[in-house]
Structure 1
Amino acid sequence: MDLTVLRYSSGADSTLGLLYMDRKFACYTLEDEHREKKVYGETRIPAGRYRVVLRTVGSHHERYKQKFPEFHKGMLHITNVPNFTDILIHIGNTDDDTAGCLLVGESSYSNVNQPGRINSSTVAYKRIYPIIVSALEKGDEVWISYLDEVNFE
């Protein structure tokens, strides 16, 4: 399975994007902003292609086991990101919720003149999570590609 994050707007504190699953639009995304020099928990990961696996350790995993006992099998963990660790796909609404991770939501609010925001994050997560986990459980590899904003200059 191929996931793609198309980053379309980078503001002072956040980056908004579109998540595609096998080339079909799935939901909106929010990450921390781009920085030339990484600040721990406050910087989006670099553009690139990374493998997604299930992570069954850590506080996020324990919280999600309680929150979603009917379907949670592990956190969606983005691996082998240079100079980054513990990058997850999870629920949240603003850059305060990211810590460098990828948040998913059903709608987004512009980050041009205000802080970026996504809404209905739980709805989006509950929709995409089972599809990704099903692919992993079948033995399929899941990869996520991050594509930076298009510069029209």
Structure 2
Amino acid sequence: MKIEIINRYQGKSCVIGKFKVFDENGDLIFNCFALQEDTAGLESGKDLRIPQGIYKLKRHPHSRFEATLRKITGNENDTMLNVYNDLVPYERHILIHWGNTDKDTQGCILLGETKTSDESIGGSRAACKEFYNLMRGVNLDMVELVIKDELE
């Protein structure tokens, strides 16, 4: 399984891109929008989006978002997904979750069904529900997340 985030739209306070999930055969099985912080960087605690590159996913139990995730998906065993690699440690806690603007990101990746403006996305909880339902039971060792910047 492969996930791609292609950052396309530069807003004043965020970037918005396409978030795509492909199965083992390379077929597109899910897509939505992703909203991240406007500036990329490696420093923790600075509200920076992670830079383009190749990342891994790991489950992140006991997140403050976990109870809400379980309400959204209807599954009591769901846990948040944490994005990391050799340059961006797991401990930075870059999660994939819901939200509509850069005020909701804190460096994380937000999902949404629609791009409502250059500064916001909509249908975030619905997009997260579909994505997390898709990821339930997936062996994350077999998942690669690729982030590319193709900003206008």
> What range is the shorter-chain TM-score in?
0.7 to 0.9
Q: Indicate the residue corresponding to 2:98 in structure 1.
A: 91
Tell me, yes or no, if structure 1 residue 134 matches structure 2 residue 137. Answer: yes
RMSD of aligned alpha carbons: 2.4
Shift of residue 140, structure 1, vs aligned partner? 5.2
Alignment length (residue pairs): 145
Q: In the alignment, is the contact (CA less than 8 A) between 2:53 and 2:147 conserved in 1?
A: yes
In the alignment, which residue of structure 1 is the partner of 2:62?
57
Alpha carbons 1:42, 1:100 under 8 Å: kept: yes
TM-score (norm 1): 0.81
Instruction: Find the counterpart in structure 2 of residue 6 from structure 1.
Output: 6
Gaps of 5+ in 1: none
Moved more, 65-74 or 38-47: 65-74
Once the two structures are TM-superposed, the CA of residue 92 in structure 1 deviates from its matched residue by 0.4
SS of alignment partner, residue 39 of structure 2: coil
Matches within 5 A, 1:16-27: 16-22=16-22, 24=28, 26-27=31-32
Q: TM (normalized to structure 2)?
A: 0.82
- Comparing 125-134 with 7-16, greater Cα deviation is found at 125-134
2:148 aligned residue: 147
Structure 1 counterpart SS, 2:136: helix
SS at match of 1:134: coil
The SS at the match of 2:12 is: coil
1:29-51, Cα deviation, whole Å (9 max, x unpaired)? 10011256857342111000100
The reply to whether residue 123 of structure 1 matches residue 126 of structure 2 is: yes
Distance 2:112 2:103 in 1: 15
In 2, Cα distance between the equivalents of 1:125 and 1:45? 19
Deviates further, 88-97 or 53-62? 53-62
Q: Deviations over 1:50-72 (max 9, x none)?
A: 00121112312244345544255
Identity of aligned residues (%): 27
Gaps of 5+ in 2: none
Per mean C-alpha deviation after superposition, the further-off stretch among 6-15 and 140-149 is 140-149
